[in-house]
Structures are given as structure tokens and as C-alpha cells.
Structure 1
């Protein structure tokens, strides 16, 4: 195991076991396989917190008794409970409460306390007269609908606190039906999906950075109750659905690009062991090939299936929220030959190449992570050119003649980060060098201390909008300044930060304008490698993986072997690779660097 390996922490997971792999005997959640889902929390065991209820409360002198109360609405439940305790010689010890219409039903431990409460009938609370009675036929509450919203939320908060790890990134929601808190709520997770909606809503508010979730052993026949997973937890990377009752792969569609506008774009690990659909598919085709295909049709980024490594067909973040995915990672090869362009010197060329590779990779694949690259005082400008392209080539190109709707670029937020996320998903075809050109040179820009060094990078090219099947031309001008030590950009491993980003979008106008005849004859394969490492150093890498490798090597100064090793063990997540590098930097041998 290399220095880049980071294992998950914890002991045995709750209810997630079963056979791992396609036909091997490895327990997916056993102590022998401490994977992403091995969590050890302290909740979910033991007896219900408030004892047993549900019997004939009113008729047992030494058992729980139900008391009804009217006129309590002038204050909160908490203030009411404190008020009653002050008025009684012995605290009421309220075990449970339900609200139905304007009546609150409370349960107290015995008949003596219930009789003491009856003596308070007629007393005023928060300006209203209380009326208390012991129902002859106690009202039984078996569903959450009978509870107050505050009571439900309090119990869900308590539940989640027992089932999340210390870092707040791994949530164990397995075997909910046996959890004492769920039982005390009268919820039925085996037959009702409402409890999952409530749990996920509260969990997303308490722990928005969840990346690992265990939903094993819940008897789920459908995933519709958890269909909002991608919306509520967009960073989710590891999901266990083991030992449920899913009988058809179509049940997965509501979490994927096939049926969700917010699919699990970052998912890299999935456990389906113990579901009928998995077992049936492996019985039909024992080598697992069709099973893997069924999963990759919906989650192309998965690289770990049932605790077995599989080859993903797309990188995390490449799925489109509007349906469809980049099933095979497209080439995004940088640098590219740009003879007509001006680059001041080799050092600026190296920095510009590394910056463009990293920026475009994140802009296409993981746009939310771009926030680290922008300076605290950064500005973003957007210009939309709606005129019809007039070049000769455009007159005969259907992409230029197509009617294109640009309203998504015209109505945008004033907030820069929200604007970037709101702009349509894109795919820049950087594997074709002739479609792009850039210039880069050094200058100075005003600063609080007078002036500071900066680099202008002017990028021209085109991109596709997969959701709208459009191809658009663009120009993008960046003003780059050195990353300040300790800034988000520096902490993420970037040597520079963006001070200004100006994007101009127009209808497709071709790429001949910046090419000479010699350039048109130059192939991308013959392009000179960038300083610090070229294509040959990375063997068979291509497309997005090659762009990531070149950008990471530029930022870390590692050699090709260790660059690829870092990216591989980080699941080809660029930001994770940078973070992993920073963690392991001090332990790396000198041979890891150029």
C-alpha cells in the first residue's frame, strides 16, 4: 500500500453484511474489510428510552395512563411541561405526547400522577383555562401524522446524532425498523416511505457534507422514498443498499441520470448485495458482466461495486443533471499547438497550460470545486453575443445555423459562485487541439499596496451543451495573480488565483479564424509536450485523465508515476488528489518528484 492510501475508520457496520463480491465470501461490512461503510455508532441498541407503551393506559393503576388536555395552545409544549411540574408536588414525568386537532394527549407513568394532573383542571396557563381528563378509551397513536412537527423533529435529531460519525460525513441509516427511537415514534419504515423523507430532510440540514450513507436492511422495495438523495446530498460518493428487497434495476433510476434531475454524480462506491435483482442477474450471467453493465448504465462513475473494484466508464461529476451522461470520458487533451498565439515565455506557458487543464476539467466535471480558485475579491463578467455568425465556414455549418436559446446566459444571479453553478453544463472537446487557441503574458494590476504581478490568459474555443445538444463558441479572459499562502487556492494546491474572469459566449463560429495553413496541417498528436511533462510520460492516459495528470504534475512537481498513483488512489477526483498529496507530502520519497 502506498503513502496515498487513506482507509475509512470504524468497526463493524450496522446491518449491512452479507456476501461481498460477485461470488466470493467476503463480508462487505465485516471487520476484515474496513471500507467506506464501516461505521461504529452508539445508537440503535437497548430498550426504548421511555419504556413500553400501547396498552390499555386508563385502566391500570400501576401502569402508564393517558391524559387529555385542552386550552394549552397559549404557550409551547416545553413551557407547558415546566408549568405542570411546578404545580405538582411530584414531577409529571411525561413519557410521550401527541396532538390531535386542539387536544394534547400525554402519557404519565401511573394513576397517581394522572389524578394529580386532574386536580389542575381549570387552572390558567398562558391566559387560557386548562381542561384535563382521563379518556375512558385511550386514543392509540400508531403513525407519525398524529405527532406535532416539533416532536417529530426532536426525535429525528436524536436519531441522527446516534447514527453519524464524528466528522459528520458518514451516516448509518440501516435497519431502522429496530431502532428504539423509530419504534417510539410509531413509524413503520418497512411499509411507509414518509419516515425516509423526514429523516433525509433533517439530515441534510444537520450534516450537509455527507459523503457516505448506509441504507442497508430496511426492506426497501422501491427507492422513491429516498429519490431526493442527489438533491439533498450532492457530494454523496458511497452508498449501501444491501439486503433490501429491490427486485428490478429500474428501481435505481430515480437516483440516476435515467430518472432524476439531480442524479448521484459523484457516486464511486455502491453496494447492492442481498437484493433479489442482483442475485437473479448473477444467476443468469455468473461472470457479473451484465450486472456491472446494469449499474454503469445508471451510475457510470462507480468504481467499487459490492466491495469489488470495477472500471468506471465516466469520471465523478461527468453526469448531466438534465439526463444522460458522458458514458465514456471524452478526451480533453492539453496543451495544444497554437502557433499564431502569443505566449511570453516558457514559464508562463507552463503555468497557463496547467491552469487551463485544471480549470476546464473542473468547469466541465466538478464546477462546485471552482470556488477555491477565485480570489476573495474576484469578479466574474459574462457577455452574450446574439448576432448571427458571419464567417464563410459558419454559413455552411448546421451548428451555426441552428436556432440557439441563450436565455440561460442572459438571466443570471449577481452572486459569482451561484452564477457559475447556474450556467448550463458543458463539455469542451479539448482532445482536438485545432479547436482552441490561447495567449498568455505577464503584466501588472492595481492592488491595495500599489500594484502586483499578474498573468493574462486569453482562451478561445468552443464547447458543447449536452442537455441542449448545442455547440457554442467562446472567449474567456482570466487575470491570474499569485495564490496568497493560506488562501483557499493555495490550500488546494493552485499556484495562482483568479482575480477576474470574463466569459463571452456566441453562436458557433468555427475555429479557422486563428489558424494559418501550416496550423491546419498540424495534428494534435504532433504537438510539443508542455514543460514539466508531456503525453508520452503518462503512457496510455487520454482525455480527462490525461488533462488531470498534466495539471496535477504541474502543481505538485511529482513525476508521472507518482502523479498517476495519487490520482488513481483518489478515485480520479482532482481536488481529492490535491488534498491527498498535501497530507502525504512529508512522507513521500525524493524519487516521487521530478
Structure 2
């Protein structure tokens, strides 16, 4: 969890983005909530050109926060017949104000109102009364202001920006702060205001450990280079939605360029800065991005709200992290094993469930509606990064271009789905809606007869329900499947949360001992199956998925696809041996429901030899 807890304080006239930090959109939403406002309020926006003479025109934009400022400007230029020629820009809470050379360009921009950018709908207007942003001056330079007046205002500013405990300081979006405006200071162009604020804040609140500097259009961190000197115990820092274009800008806060580096830094947020976006576009798996950060701040364990492994403890001297390639070549201190299953009962249930589910998924997805609970949730994430396993580097299945559009249309990859609407719409709820979504995905064929291509983990847990908790089993399945129509092979991970069936429910009526409450599917280009293979000198655990699946496949030799899945599922439910399981299915003409009913009717009369 993030340690940030600053929220917007709209009631004080500053706003705070949308009231909560969500993927770099402004404000913070962490464990402790110290603010109470709802963001920017109080401005009325018109739609015409009243009050603006021919010449530069100011245009306001809302809904742009899903992307960076640079990507927004490039997007607008692509949509216009002629470039927007943006002269300057200012961000005030969740509104961006841009100035364009003339009314013609402004009118063309207004025609784009309603268009979607980075998952959100843009709203463009021309203010009836253009918002004025003060010219640059520094504390003490405002006409008629004494140095004492300036200090009093800085004290008041810090008081409104710090939490009650004096450990968190919100310095986001300073350009719109009424105290800053009254001083005639423009933090977008002068670093002296930051130095003055940090000096006053360190005197008033020496125990600050969290600072938010988001949404300040910072091109350089030199104005805040004193952070380590002023706040040596700083643990959490947000620089989100600024204009930092090079990782070297961070050096002035690290041992690379400062005698007082941030040695205690644990959490860092850089979303919305060009340097981050460019590096992730270049290497999407984030390995080089994380390495750039750890070279400067080896103690960081939370980066952009995502956990990362630190290379040093807070307070320790930084050490050389080495190259990314060298890090990847380091071996784990323990051998890789193929699977983990908590006990034999869970293994049997998981084996039967997987076989039955995959059989229906490949052969008749419409019947999966009985397997999902009425309140079930399904989400799919497409991982578009390049395969990393050594074997995949030379495997044509990994190198083949794969069409993923059917998956991307409902992908809930939170690294890419920034907007709240997108995240809500791609969380599919209810068994009928889930089945409809699954049926739109490409037809598949899982090579279940080849046990080494699959691995799973399964364990029991408890999940919260209304006023109580409920026993559940987590099944985490890894493997591969083919898309016959496209002649492609993909790798996947699928995590199920299973709950006991309710008597009379569709799952119980269909003979399933459990129902799916949560189903999370990750699809990626083919990456092989070596990652879960045990070493040659290791014996595979008797409870491992490979051994179990191989044993089942051997017992039902000659069966494939739906018949194999049906046999494994019936055996797991009935505990009959392979001979009697096949006899029951054959006498029922391979109708699973009929075979299940036949077994239940004959259970008491079956000889001991029929069971395992």
C-alpha cells in the first residue's frame, strides 16, 4: 500500500486533482486520509469568445489526465488539420489552460470537445474571463510587500499544506494556491519559492516524512535539491505529472549529485513525467526503468504505487546495482520446483476442477455459466511484453506476430487502463456476462495430455463476506494453449477463487463441487514451460501437478479433449478407479450428467474394487 495520504483541499481554494491519487492524476489516496475537499470548484466556463480580442486565445481542457502533457499536445496536433501551435500552458487542479495564437485554431480545438484521449473524454471550452497566471517574481520582490509579510504568508501556506501530525506536506499544484498568487510568485519559472517554502517547512515541521510535489511543471529538481538536507528522514516523495525529461534530473537528490541524498526514501512516484513514459515505451517490462531508479535510490520499495525489490536498506550506503543483464543471470538460492499443493484433498479437487473447466472452455463455453457463481467476477489482462525465457528467444512460436485484438478489447491491464471508466467496464460481473465475454474470445485447444506443459498451485484460504468469512480455495494455473484458427500458441496464467457450491445452485445441479467466485486470466505471447520445471537431479513431488496430471493421463490413455476432461472430473468426484470411471461413462453414452446420476444411484451397490 502507498504511504501517501494527501487529498485535495477544494474548500481552501486549491483543489487537489480529483480528490485522490489514481495513477498519477493528482492528489493522493493512501492509508491515512487527512484532507476532506473534493477538488477544484468555483470557476464558470463559457463556450464562446466573449471578452477575447483577436490574437492569442486561452482554451481550457478537462479530462486530459490519463496521459502526459506532451502526448496530449501531439494528440491534438494529429487531430487538427493544422498544428495547434500552443504558446504556453498552465495546470490548475484538474484543468489545463493552453494559449493558442488565434481564434481560428481555438475554434478548431473546440470541435474536438468530446473526443477520447487516453481513455477519457476531453472537454474543451474558452473561458468567458481568461484565467490569469502571475508573472515570475520571487518572495520579497512583490511590490509593497515586506520580508516579514512574505515570511508570514509562507508560514500560512505551510500550515494549510501540512497535516495535523506534521509528517506530511502537500506542495502539489502550487501555481494555483491563493497565497502564492497573492505573493506574485510563479513557481513554474522560479526556484526561489521552493527553497523558501522548504526552509520554512523544515523549521515548523522537522519530522516530515512525506512530500507531494506533483503537478508543478518541474523541468528540473534543482529548486528542491535541499530536500535531503532539510528532511533527512524523508520516506515518501511524489513528483508525478511534472516535466522531468531525463533521469539525471534525479541526481541532485541522490548520492550521485548530492552530499545530502535521500537515504531513507522508500516510495517514489514519477508517473506523468516524460522520462518515465519514454523509458517504459522503450523497454515495456520496466526493468531498465527500475534500474535507473535503484541506481539513485536503492532503498525504494514502492515505485509508482507498484512494489519493487529494494537493493539496500534505508539508511545504508548505496551500492553498485550492476547491469540489468547481470541481475537477471543471478540464480535463486533455492531450486525451482514445479508446483505447490497444500494437501491431497485440495489436489484432487483442483485436478478435477481444472480438467472439467478446460474441457468446457475448449469444447463448450456456453456450459461454463453453471460453473461461475451468480456474483462471480472475471478480468483479463494482456501482457504485451516480449517473452523473456531463454528457450523463447529462438522459438518461432514466441517470435510470431500474434493477433491480440479480441483480448485487448476487454483487457484490464492496470498499467494501460488509466481511466476509471475503462477499469470499471472491463471488470465483468455475473455468470451470464462472463460467459458472453468468454464466447467472444478465440477458440482454444489446451494440450492437457502433455502434463509438463502445465503447472498449478492450490491452497485453502478465507475470504471476507457480509459480516463473516468464507472458506475458499485458490487455484493458480500456468500453461499454454493453441488458437487453431490462427495457428498460434499463447502462454497464460489463470487464478481462480473457488467456493463450495450452494445446494440447488446451477453448479451443484451440474455436479460441480465448487463454483468460481473470481477468475483472473493473463494472456501473453508464448514463453515456454521451463520456468516451472524442476532440475534434472530433483524428484518431482508426489503432490505436484505434473505428476498428478501425468498419472491421470496414463490412466485414461487414448482419451483426449472433452472425453479426457470428463473422465478426470468424474473420477475426482466419485473416487472410482479408471476402469470403473470409464465403464460408467460408456454406459451413459459419455453424457456427464447422466453418468453422474448413474453413479449416485449405484454408489451403495458398487464393490470395493471400483474405488481407488
Q: TM-score, normalised by structure 2?
A: 0.38
